[in-house]
Amino acid sequence: MTKKRVYLPAIIGFVLIILSILAAMSGPIGSRIGWWDFDYAVAIAKWSAYVGMFAALLCFSGLIFARPGSNRRGFVISLLGIILLVPMLLFLQSWKEAKLTLPPIQDITTTTENLPTFWYAPNSRDYGGDLVAALQEEFYPDIKPLILPVTTDKAFDLSVELIKDRGWQLWTPSREEMHIEATHKTFWFGFSDDVVIHITKIDQDSSRIDMRSTSRFGGGGDGGTNANRIRIFFEDLKERSQQ
């Protein structure tokens, strides 16, 4: 019985896919620990995607020329390579689309009338005024104050508890002023984003929570990170208030 030959492009494609995934992961990790800057990390991600797409073509050829019943081996490794690559490409594409389609703002707030300000977190970003407010209203119209059917003390305790559970750095919360600040380091790049929460009394049994989330460094857009942080925080806070 003749032993089937290995389809070499499938092997090359699989190896390139593994290397492209490792390279894409190294970009933000290297930026986080100071090996290179953000722009270099983005360039690494871009070229990782290019290499990955080329490798995918090689693996697709493996699906054809090393398919079951042919005289070559490599179908399984080709299929595995494509399965491993797809999540990376989808993630990079969604990240790219967010940067291109969302507004060039990094400072999101539920109110501009009484803008929450930072007392302790070292965030020196000045609010961009009417232009930023207009862009937020256009792209993130759902970012509004949260009304909870709990006392201000309860809302304060729930907010501090949630911040601690998330592992954010908490900055000297003031119950007297109903003022809370925290810093969250982003997962991949380790950027420091600061949040400030103000709680005001509506009546004896309900409170209003305003939240501002802003990137400490950088310019341009944040890909929706700060808006999503407020959305998710409010969703979790609302759920806890109902328990």
Distance CA 150, CA 226 (A): 25
The answer on 129 and 15 residing in a single domain is no
Domain end among 71, 101, 131: 101
Q: Is the pLDDT of residue 175 over 90?
A: yes
**What total of structural domains would you count in the chain?**
2
pTM as predicted: 0.81
- Report the CATH number that the domain containing residue 234 is assigned in CATH: 3.30.310.80
**pLDDT, position 148:** 96
How large is the average pLDDT for residues 66-91?
92
How large is the average pLDDT for residues 28-46?
86
The answer on 143 and 209 residing in a single domain is yes
Domain end among 66, 101, 136: 101
pLDDT band at 105 (very low <50, low <70, confident <90, very high): very high
The answer on 30 and 71 residing in a single domain is yes
What is the domain extent for residue 91?
A: 5-101
The answer on 222 and 121 residing in a single domain is yes
The answer on 18 and 128 residing in a single domain is no
The answer on 140 and 227 residing in a single domain is yes
How large is the average pLDDT for residues 134-139?
95
Q: What is the pLDDT of residues 185-242, one digit of tens each?
A: 987 788 899 999 999 999 989 999 999 999 987 767 888 999 999 999 999 999 999 8
Q: Is the pLDDT of residue 1 over 60?
A: no
Domain end among 48, 69, 101: 101
pLDDT band at 2 (very low <50, low <70, confident <90, very high): low
The answer on 96 and 115 residing in a single domain is no
The answer on 21 and 86 residing in a single domain is yes
